[in-house]
Amino acid sequence: MKLTEVTNTTQLREFMTTPTEGLVKMMKGLKGDFLVLGAAGKVGPELVETLTRANSQAGAKRTFYAVDLFPKGSPVPPERFEELGVKPIAGDLTERAFLDSLPTAPNVVYMVGFKFGSSGDYRRTWHLNAILPYLVGEHFSKSRIVVYSSTNPYPHTRPEDGGSKETDEPDPHGVYGWSIVARESAFATSQLKAPEQKLCFYRLAYAQHLGYGVLVDLARMIWKGEPISLAIPAVNILSQRDAIDISLRALEKCANPPLALNVAGPIIMARDIVEKMAKLLKKKPVFAGEAGDKAFIANDAVCVKMFGPYRDKPDELIEAAAKWVMRGGEYWDKPTMFGRADHKY
């Protein structure tokens, strides 16, 4: 099934958690249990389900742990993970006793972070995005860790230049971008004392889902007749299932010193996306303000060479988002704020 053929949340979940042959192959060869920190966020539940599906197809036996706060009334309760045969562990990672109690699994995916609200709460931003990563790095001193990071700290570049590369110097705009630099630096610092630890800084640009994402945000704005800013004139387009797949397969690529990896998808002009969607939605788009000439976009040539082409193409993702909005599909109310050129989140 293609994403353009998805019509309900059950089909969407099935689509987004379909593992690749490459991931199944990795699960056959990679040893040890898995632990996902921040498992109840936007990406976590589908990442964990993808893992368990790949593991089942590989015929492997291991234990999976899903760690998060799991507060009462959470939209992602621990039962969702239990249904997958995963052991949920509820607790606050900022409490040192809880962190120290976690099993030191050989394979760790770190998905904890604080973005929206970061510009107004410096203390929490630096606690969650800098101090906690150091402590996590210390605890999992012998693990492979894929650290969900971001392309946000890269300098703004012209789309025609192909996007920022992993070797480019960071030039963050705003406290969130600097806190991402701090997160990676904290893990790299803890690794200095952990020769057996291997890391991958998984620098993800916007991943596209139908419950949230840049494309759904744009489609909803067109549908409602809301003004659309082109201050950020271009974005990378990547499906969430491809983002999940690469992040898990990156466990085999973790290294000491850390591997930095851009995962982003093709660079697409925002105006082109809007115009294609407007035709599908049969609406006239409304633009606001002057179009910018630079964007924070990434070059993912290293990733594509390492793992091969992505499964889902930009035109399919654009069409799927427009159709989903026309149908009144489920929306998670987690706006990306992709048009914020000042990076104040």
Encode pLDDT of 172-202 as tens digits.
Answer: 888 888 999 999 999 999 999 999 999 999 9
Gap between the Cα atoms of 278 and 319, Å rounded: 10
Nearest residue to 37 via CA among 90, 74, 1, 73: 90
Residue 287 resides in a domain: no
State the residue range of the domain holding 165. Answer: 3-205+240-264+298-306
Let me know if residue 171 belongs to a domain. Answer: yes
Both tokens of 15, joined, read 């689509």
Q: Where are the alpha helices (DSSP H) in the chain?
A: 9-16, 21-29, 44-58, 78-82, 96-101, 122-126, 132-139, 175-191, 214-224, 240-249, 270-281, 301-307, 314-327
Q: Report if residue 141 sits inside a domain.
A: yes
- Domain presence at residue 158: yes
Coil, strand or helix: which one is 40?
coil
pLDDT on residue 261: 98
What sign for the dihedral angle of Cα 93, 96, 100, 106? positive
32 φψ region: left (φ > 0), alpha (ψ -120 to 50), beta (else): left
126 in any annotated domain: yes
* DSSP code of residue 130: I
Tell whether the torsion through CA atoms of 332, 335, 338 and 343 is positive or negative.
Answer: negative
Amino acid at 283: K
Rounded percentage of the chain residues whose pLDDT exceeds 90: 84
pLDDT at 71: 86
With respect to residue 95, please indicate whether it lies within any of the assigned structural domains.
Answer: yes
pTM of full prediction above 0.85: yes
Best CA proximity match to 327, nearest among 213, 219, 240, 207: 219
153/174 Cα distance (integer angstroms): 9
Tell me the CATH number at 66: 3.40.50.720
Q: Is position 189 within any domain? A: yes
127 contacts: CB under 8 Å, gap ≥ 6: 94
Q: 206-209 long-range contacts, Cβ below 8 Å, gap at least 24?
A: 206/235, 206/236, 206/237, 206/238, 206/336, 206/338, 207/43, 207/238, 207/239, 207/240, 207/242, 207/243, 208/237, 208/238, 208/239, 208/240, 208/317, 208/321, 209/16, 209/42, 209/239, 209/240, 209/332
262: left (phi over 0), alpha (psi -120 to 50) or beta: beta
Pairing of strands 259-263, 144-150: unpaired
Cα separation, 285 vs 81, in Å, equals 41
Mean pLDDT confidence for 47-72: 96
Q: How confident is the model at residue 301 (pLDDT cuts 50, 70, 90)?
A: very high
> Is the residue at 102 inside a domain?
yes
What mean pLDDT do residues 130-146 have? 97
pLDDT at 339 over 90: no
Q: Name residues whose C-beta falls within 8 Å of residue 167's C-beta, 6 or more positions apart in sequence.
A: none
Burial of residue 96 (CB within 10 Å: 0-12, 13-18, 19+) is exposed
pLDDT at 170 over 60: yes
User: In total, how many domains does the chain have?
Assistant: 1
pLDDT in tens, 277-300: 999 999 999 998 788 999 989 999
Q: Which of 64-78, 181-195, 295-309 has the lowest mean pLDDT?
A: 64-78
Q: Is the pLDDT of residue 343 over 70?
A: no
